[in-house]
Chains A and B, each alone.
Chain A
């Protein structure tokens, strides 16, 4: 027989206080969530500010003072029509956010409904919805916008609708995929066993459980919408003059690229900040809403 199995023990551990587990407690320590939140808030604040105050009027054309370098009066200078860049950026944030919110709302409303229906009904309904969504997905936003503009004429509304439609298939797929995973859970089986129908199960069990995924995706889609809006405005299919927009500013700057390259850098940087901010926010939300990390409510 071998030596007896002996054991000894080191000093008992003193339980440390558990880290704060509230959502905001964890959120404020999450680096990319905080950075993303600050950048996104900056954009929203600019848009809000432009409603009540801008240093100059963003519509006022003053050819005499065109292409001024940064000064005390014009902090970032003026563009080729003599409009104040800061004012244009602030007012541009407004149309960016407006287009983003409405387009993402369109995408979410239709995409989530279609995805939930596909997942609840299965069979032919799912097949038709998903093939339709593949079909829509095959058209880039720019192409649908061009087609829409050809019919309805270019403008902010056209670009909102085009971007919104472009958002639908992505969200339909995401919703269907996540909802299917929930439908396979035992608690849904339990709900069916107690006699609940597909509609009530969708509202009471499926939707609440995929909500965090949808929120995260919505921030990413918002960023994509901003990019799409800028692209459409740049092509002249989106926001029409004199309504300022970051995409239009890029378009105007294009012709001046060699005389004053900074004109393109400002709106470019604004777009980059908004997109980066929303993406970081989405990443942060994904971590924070993960139930495995949020054991304590």
Chain B
């Protein structure tokens, strides 16, 4: 059976024009997204991993229809979010909500928790205002807060509690998909675990899907069914976490895995090769990762690799994927 996927992103491109520096030269361009295609099935979660400049936050904003992409389409349950009318888009937002990184910046300091959490309801036409408080109370309970917290203000809560409030706001319309942009990276480790467990519980309870954007591979591994690794606006590797982290096929994924400091005795320091930093604006002919890659050869410099199948549900954009997979894999923490 091939049902319509919950979210279908096709060949998404986003270019930003930089401020013109000279009257006589065309203004520079940043290619934040360079043809990204992913699908999310209902109830499944997709992790997006990458470093700063990989385009992962741009991806989140375009999927949320907060920005119009230069090209490509984002379809939620078969509706192209950039083609439908503003009214339809507003209704479609019921199904797709967002959780932000900064638990301090994402809640309006001058509004009560009840108002903040009810915000997504206020834009829906059929919402009955008299039921708002009851619905807020219910959703606060689901994220582990108390009904009495409704009339407090954000500054009365700790970072972890604020992130719970942000999750409650995303849950209140009973969405099918929540886009979470680095939801735990601003939290203390002990609180991080609580929020991650909560996100997992909510997924089981409501059959939610997540798009989880993170720089932390372990966080993505813990919460997602599929992972896409982004580098300079492209997906360079995609697959199930166990494939990606145990049989990685792209040298960049490999570099990310190697870079994670391991909390164990006798670890000592593992040496890492010096790596050049690639630029987003340079549109080179070959593989975008070539400057940092230890395996690169002339072919890599000339022909850009396409995303291709390297295993069951496992894609990689590397000419030498098989060679990378054959390397002894980085030890995984138990």
A–B touching in complex (CB under 8 Å)? yes
Give the contacting residue for B108; candidates A195, A205, A295; CB below 8 A. A205
Of A87-95, A186-194, A222-230, the one touching chain B: A186-194
Please encode chain A, from 76 to 119, with 1 for each CB lying within 8 Å of some chain B CB and 0 for all others: 00000000000000000000000000000000000000000000
Which B residues from 97 to 132 make CB contacts under 8 A with A?
97-98, 100-102, 105-111, 116, 119-120, 122-123
| Contact residues in B for A194 (Cβ distance below 8 Å) | 93, 97, 119-120, 123, 169, 173
Residues of B at the A interface (CB closer than 8 Å) are 64, 66, 89-90, 93, 97-98, 100-102, 105-111, 116, 119-120, 122-123, 153, 155, 166, 169, 173
* Main DSSP-derived SS at the B contact region: loop
A47 to chain B, nearest CB (A): 33
How many angstroms between the C-alpha atoms of A190 and B98 in the bound complex? 7
How many angstroms between the C-alpha atoms of A90 and B115 in the bound complex? 47
A22 to chain B, nearest CB (A): 14
New A-B pairs, 15, CB < 8 Å, besides A186-B100, A190-B169: A187-B106, A187-B107, A192-B66, A193-B93, A194-B97, A194-B120, A194-B173, A195-B89, A196-B119, A196-B122, A196-B123, A208-B110, A208-B111, A209-B110, A295-B155
Q: Is A140 an interface residue (CB 8 A)?
A: no
B108 to chain A, nearest CB (A): 4
- CB–CB A195/B153 < 8 A: no
Give the contacting residue for A193; candidates B64, B109, B110, B155; CB below 8 A. B64
- CB–CB B153/A297 < 8 A: yes
A296 to chain B, nearest CB (A): 8
| Contact residues in A for B89 (Cβ distance below 8 Å) | 195
Also in contact, A195 and B105, with CB within 8 A (given A186-B100, A189-B66, A190-B100)? no
The 8 closest A-B pairs by CB, nearest first: A194-B120, A186-B105, A186-B106, A195-B123, A195-B90, A195-B93, A187-B108, A193-B98
Closest Cβ neighbor of A187 among chain B residues: B108
Closest Cβ neighbor of B119 among chain A residues: A194
Q: Is A291 an interface residue (CB 8 A)?
A: yes
B170 to chain A, nearest CB (A): 9
How many angstroms between the C-alpha atoms of A205 and B100 in the bound complex? 17
How many angstroms between the C-alpha atoms of A297 and B112 in the bound complex? 12
Give the contacting residue for A190; candidates B106, B122, B123, B155; CB below 8 A. B106
Which A residues from 193 to 212 make CB contacts under 8 A with B?
193-196, 200, 204-205, 208-209
Residues of A at the B interface (CB closer than 8 Å) are 185-187, 189-196, 200, 204-205, 208-209, 291, 295, 297
* Main DSSP-derived SS at the A contact region: helix
| Contact residues in A for B97 (Cβ distance below 8 Å) | 193-194
| Contact residues in B for A204 (Cβ distance below 8 Å) | 111
How many angstroms between the C-alpha atoms of A145 and B329 in the bound complex? 80
| Contact residues in A for B109 (Cβ distance below 8 Å) | 209, 291
A270 to chain B, nearest CB (A): 38
| Contact residues in A for B102 (Cβ distance below 8 Å) | 186
| Contact residues in A for B123 (Cβ distance below 8 Å) | 194-196, 200
Closest Cβ neighbor of A292 among chain B residues: B155
How many angstroms between the C-alpha atoms of A200 and B110 in the bound complex? 15
| Contact residues in B for A196 (Cβ distance below 8 Å) | 119, 122-123
| Contact residues in A for B110 (Cβ distance below 8 Å) | 208-209
Give the contacting residue for A195; candidates B100, B101, B120; CB below 8 A. B120
- CB–CB A191/B100 < 8 A: no
| Contact residues in A for B90 (Cβ distance below 8 Å) | 195
Give the contacting residue for A185; candidates B64, B98, B105, B153; CB below 8 A. B105
Closest Cβ neighbor of B93 among chain A residues: A195
Closest Cβ neighbor of A295 among chain B residues: B155
Q: List 29 A-B contacts (CB under 8 A).
A: A185-B105, A186-B105, A187-B105, A187-B107, A187-B108, A190-B98, A190-B119, A190-B166, A191-B108, A191-B119, A192-B66, A193-B64, A193-B66, A193-B98, A194-B93, A194-B119, A194-B120, A195-B90, A195-B120, A195-B123, A204-B111, A205-B111, A208-B111, A209-B108, A209-B109, A209-B110, A291-B109, A295-B155, A297-B153
How many angstroms between the C-alpha atoms of A193 and B100 in the bound complex? 11
| Contact residues in B for A209 (Cβ distance below 8 Å) | 108-110
How many angstroms between the C-alpha atoms of A53 and B34 in the bound complex? 78
B257 to chain A, nearest CB (A): 30
Closest Cβ neighbor of A185 among chain B residues: B105
Closest Cβ neighbor of A297 among chain B residues: B153
Most buried by B among A189, A194, A291, A297: A194
